[in-house]
């Protein structure tokens, strides 16, 4: 697509702009920082993480997105965890994170762009906020919590998510704020400034990486499926929140209508994919439905999980094994069919799934809970962003890229990666992000400082030789798996009595 290879040009600006702070954008930023490139990472929401921040575990390994925080994972690992990415961002001096920030304009050319970005007010100084939560406790205004898919409430000043990076709170102004000001009065570090205004800034960068990801298909558009009308019809992302330890029910799965444990759970595939409006496969939904069905069985072993689908698309490394595990070890059933629609039983609030089976006949089956495996649409505002960047979109609205180098966009100096390019899973997104970052680092080589930035001095160390050991024992209890195998309370009791253990 791009005839003139950028790698042959010297770039005067030794800095890059990464747009989008999801897993792909973070991966690209870390790789660039490793290569000594200064990176401006702009993210339009108040926190880094993208959709991965919402997930309980990730396929194909079912690993927790939070716990795998050792440096052996995440960086260069095809099964990345979000935690090291977050930690890296806190520590890397080359990465300049700008949350609540969007691109307004891009002028210049490859090697010498001027990116005008707009910083929207957070009303909380990130450098001062200690995340103590005093403001939250004082705030009288409650709003639906988007992080938990509106299933819980948050305060007008709150933390965007439990593991949000930056750790600072964010204020969503409401009419009450003009007279209330309680948070301003209680904040012990004077971090809150209600007078903040949007601010534009010009950044000199040699290259741009677009990592703006996707938007989850809005299931309310499919009226026959009843999402938003039937309490027990959820999307896959809403189920992720219900299954999550820090989620609205602390990971215990309950029916929204009556708080009962669901025993019959249906998953409907290709909602917003492979239909007349979306002539593409969303690529991740078969795998996330299998993952979620197994998570349901982990929480409620007696539950029956049935996936209604056209065909099962498990094509990457480790995916077929996931399918075999789901069917073999977990007893997840697959029913090949075409869905006709859903109906709610007004008395029980059960959901009737109507479908045309392989026998050509119409069937109807009741379920306690129905999960819609919604597809991946282009990110909100993607078309406008691509216009501002001067790059082409493909016929589906994702970023158009070269078929042989799928991180090259239609404009020299601008690259793309992750789900901004097409629906793809996390391993594919980070692989593509690394490819884009490698090419940008090579292209910017002449603009970078000859010597890498001076390393940060390590924190002073104390010689503890000869002192008694001080051992801490920490056991994760956020999921059902460890609790099911170990008596964690008893384990901690035993650990507390052991030599040298000062905390358990
Ligand atoms: C229910 C569900 C479960 C899933 N489970 C798994 C799983 O188990 N394993 C797996 O591998 N994959 C899974 N996926 C897919 C996974 O979410 C994606 O592969 C991954 O999030 C792609 O990362 P990304 O960084 O490209 O995009 P995103 O996660 O979408 O991040 C993009 C970021 O860019 C920001 N952004 C967008 N536009 C702009 C703009 N104009 N300016 C600035 N910032 C912008 C967004 O706010 C966001 O933070 C799942 C998807 C769903 C829907
Ligand atoms: S000023 Fe607004 S955010 Fe602060 S406490 Fe009052 S209502 Fe809450
Ligand atoms: S804004 Fe102030 S009160 Fe609120 S969490 Fe931050 S430091 Fe605490």
pLDDT at 84 (0 to 100): 62
Of 371, 294, 372, 286, the closest CA to residue 332 belongs to 294
Domains in the chain, start-ordered, CATH in brackets?
13-120+199-213+379-447 (3.50.50.60), 121-197 (3.30.70.20), 217-376 (3.50.50.60), 471-503 (no CATH)
pLDDT at 485 (0 to 100): 76
Of 433, 387, 428, the closest CA to residue 410 belongs to 387
DSSP labels, 232-292: TEEEHHHHHHHHSTTSTTTT----TTT-PPPSEEEEEEEETSSSSS--S--SSHHHHHHHH
Q: Out of 94-108, 167-181, 357-371, 486-500, which region has the weakest mean confidence (pLDDT)? A: 486-500
Judge whether residue 437 has pLDDT over 60: yes
Beta bridge partners of 441: none
Dist CA 210 CA 393 (whole Å):
12
Task: Provide the percentage of residues in the chain whose pLDDT is more than 90.
Answer: 69
pLDDT at 3 (0 to 100): 36
Dist CA 386 CA 411 (whole Å):
10
pLDDT at 461 (0 to 100): 82
- Identify the helix (H) or strand (E) that includes residue 326: helix 319-328
pLDDT at 60 (0 to 100): 82
Judge whether residue 446 has pLDDT over 90: no
- Strand 38-42 relative to strand 57-58, pairing: unpaired
Can you tell me the mean pLDDT for 315-343?
A: 94
Can you tell me the mean pLDDT for 443-463?
A: 67
Asked whether the CA dihedral 143, 85, 125, 245 is positive or negative, the reply is: positive
Tell me how crowded residue 433 is: count the other CB atoms within 10 A of its CB: 30
Closest atom, ligand 2, to C-alpha of 174: 2
Q: Hey, whose CA ends up nearest to atom 37 of ligand 1? A: 212
Can you tell me the mean pLDDT for 392-401?
A: 97
* Best of 23, 25, 42, 51 for a ligand 1 pocket test (most atoms within 8 Å of beta carbon): 51
CA of 49 to the centre of ligand 3 (A): 22
191-194 CB contacts, 8 Å cutoff, 24+ apart:
191/124, 191/125, 191/128, 191/129, 191/130, 192/123, 192/124, 192/125, 192/135, 192/157, 193/123, 193/124, 193/125, 194/123
pLDDT at 449 (0 to 100): 46
185 pocket-lining for ligand 3 (C-beta < 6 Å) = no
Number of H helices, E strands in the chain: 11, 25
pLDDT tens per residue across span 257-307: 999 999 999 999 999 998 888 989 999 999 999 999 999 999 999 999 999
Using CB atoms within 10 A of its CB, is residue 470 exposed (0-12), middle (13-18) or buried (19+)?
A: exposed
Query: Cα 128 to chain center, whole Å?
Result: 26
Phi, psi of 150 (to 5 degrees): 75, 5
pLDDT tens per residue across span 457-485: 777 888 888 899 899 998 876 556 677 77
pLDDT at 454 (0 to 100): 57
pLDDT at 150 (0 to 100): 85
Closest atom, ligand 2, to C-alpha of 176: 7
Judge whether residue 163 has pLDDT over 90: no
Can you tell me the mean pLDDT for 205-214?
A: 97
3-class DSSP assignment, residue 93: coil
Q: Out of 62-71, 248-257, 402-411, which region has the weakest mean confidence (pLDDT)? A: 62-71
pLDDT at 457 (0 to 100): 72
Name 176's Cβ contacts closer than 8 Å, sequence gap at least 6: 140, 141, 156
* Best of 177, 179, 181 for a ligand 2 pocket test (most atoms within 8 Å of beta carbon): 177
CB 355 within 8 A of CB 340: yes
Q: Out of 2-11, 24-33, 420-429, which region has the weakest mean confidence (pLDDT)? A: 2-11
3-state helix, strand, coil in the chain (%, to 5): 25, 25, 50
Straight-line distance from the first to the last Cα atom of the chain, in angstroms, rounded to the nearest whole number: 58
pLDDT at 44 (0 to 100): 97
Tell me how crowded residue 313 is: count the other CB atoms within 10 A of its CB: 20
| Residue ranges lining ligand 2, Cβ < 6 Å | 138-141, 156-157, 171, 174, 176-177, 180-183
**Which ligand has the nearest atom to the CA of 172?**
2
Judge whether residue 7 has pLDDT over 80: no
Asked whether the CA dihedral 369, 81, 315, 280 is positive or negative, the reply is: positive
CA of 154 to the centre of ligand 2 (A): 12
Dist CA 207 CA 111 (whole Å):
6
Tell me which of 87 and 406 has the higher pLDDT.
406
pLDDT tens per residue across span 97-126: 999 999 999 999 999 999 999 999 999 999
Q: Kindly indicate the confidence band of residue 82, based on its pLDDT and cuts at 50, 70 and 90.
A: low
124 pocket-lining for ligand 3 (C-beta < 6 Å) = yes
3-class DSSP assignment, residue 40: strand
Can you tell me the mean pLDDT for 415-430?
A: 95
pLDDT at 83 (0 to 100): 65
DSSP structural state of residue 331? -
For the packed helices 23-34 and 426-443, what is the interaxial angle rounded to 10 degrees?
Answer: 30
Can you tell me the mean pLDDT for 50-73?
A: 68
413 pocket-lining for ligand 1 (C-beta < 6 Å) = no
CA of 123 to the centre of ligand 2 (A): 11
CB 17 within 8 A of CB 447: no
Q: Kindly indicate the confidence band of residue 316, based on its pLDDT and cuts at 50, 70 and 90.
A: confident
Length of the chain (residues):
504
Asked whether the CA dihedral 447, 452, 454, 456 is positive or negative, the reply is: positive
Closest atom, ligand 1, to C-alpha of 374: 53
Tell me which of 413 and 464 has the higher pLDDT.
413
pLDDT at 486 (0 to 100): 81
Q: Kindly indicate the confidence band of residue 11, based on its pLDDT and cuts at 50, 70 and 90.
A: very low
Tell me how crowded residue 483 is: count the other CB atoms within 10 A of its CB: 15
Summary mean pLDDT of the chain: 88
176 pocket-lining for ligand 3 (C-beta < 6 Å) = no
pLDDT at 460 (0 to 100): 82
**Which ligand has the nearest atom to the CA of 138?**
2
DSSP structural state of residue 297? H
pLDDT at 149 (0 to 100): 82
For the packed helices 82-91 and 23-34, what is the interaxial angle rounded to 10 degrees?
Answer: 50
Name 409's Cβ contacts closer than 8 Å, sequence gap at least 6: 1, 2, 210, 389, 391, 392, 399, 400, 401, 415, 416
């Amino acid at each position: 697509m791009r005839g003139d290879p950028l790698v042959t040009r010297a770039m005067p600006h030794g800095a890059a702009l990464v747009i989008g702070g999801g897993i792909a954008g973070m991966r690209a930023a870390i790789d660039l920082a490793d290569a000594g490139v200064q990176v401006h990472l702009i993210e339009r929401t108040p926190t880094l993480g993208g959709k991965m921040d919402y997930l309980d575990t990730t396929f194909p390994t079912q690993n927790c997105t939070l716990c795998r925080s050792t440096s052996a994972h995440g960086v260069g690992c095809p099964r990345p965890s979000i935690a090291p990415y977050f930690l890296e961002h806190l520590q890397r001096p080359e990465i300049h994170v700008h949350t609540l920030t969007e691109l307004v304009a891009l002028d210049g050319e490859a090697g010498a762009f001027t990116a005008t970005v707009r910083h929207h007010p957070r009303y909380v100084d990130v450098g001062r906020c200690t995340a103590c939560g005093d403001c939250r406790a004082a705030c009288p205004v409650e709003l639906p919590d988007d992080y938990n898919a509106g299933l819980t409430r948050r305060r007008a000043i709150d933390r965007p998510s439990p593991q949000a990076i930056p750790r600072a709170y964010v204020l969503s102004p409401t009419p009450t704020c003009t007279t209330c000001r309680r948070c301003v009065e209680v904040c012990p570090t004077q971090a809150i400034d209600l007078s903040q205004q949007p601010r534009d800034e010009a950044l000199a960068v040699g290259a741009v990486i677009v990592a703006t990801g996707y938007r989850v298909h809005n299931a309310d558009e499919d009226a026959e499926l009843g999402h938003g009308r039937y309490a027990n019809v959820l999307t896959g992302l809403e189920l992720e929140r219900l299954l999550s330890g820090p989620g609205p029910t602390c990971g215990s799965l309950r029916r929204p209508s009556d708080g009962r444990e669901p025993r019959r759970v249906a998953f409907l595939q290709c909602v917003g994919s492979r239909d007349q409006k979306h002539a593409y496969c969303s690529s991740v939904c078969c795998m996330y439905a299998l993952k979620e069905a197994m998570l349901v069985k982990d929480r409620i072993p007696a539950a029956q999980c049935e996936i209604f689908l056209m065909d099962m698309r498990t094509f990457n490394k480790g995916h077929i094994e996931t399918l075999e595990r789901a069917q073999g070890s977990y007893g997840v059933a697959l029913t090949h069919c075409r869905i006709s629609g859903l109906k709610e039983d007004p008395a029980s609030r059960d959901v009737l799934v109507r479908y045309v089976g392989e026998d050509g006949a119409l069937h109807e089956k009741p379920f306690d809970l129905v999960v819609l495996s919604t597809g991946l649409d282009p990110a909100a505002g993607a078309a406008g962003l691509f216009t501002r960047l001067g790059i082409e979109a493909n016929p589906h609205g994702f970023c158009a890229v070269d078929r042989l180098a799928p991180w090259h966009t239609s404009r020299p100096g601008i690259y793309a990666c992750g789900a901004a390019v097409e629906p793809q899973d996390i391993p594919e997104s980070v692989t593509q992000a690394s490819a884009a970052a490698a090419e940008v680092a090579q292209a910017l080589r002449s603009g970078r400082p000859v010597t890498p930035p001076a390393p940060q001095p390590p924190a002073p160390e104390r010689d503890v030789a000869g002192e008694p050991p001080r051992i801490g024992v920490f056991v994760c209890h956020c999921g059902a798996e460890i609790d099911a195998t170990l008596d964690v309370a008893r384990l901690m009791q035993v650990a507390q009595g052991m030599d040298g253990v000062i905390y358990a």
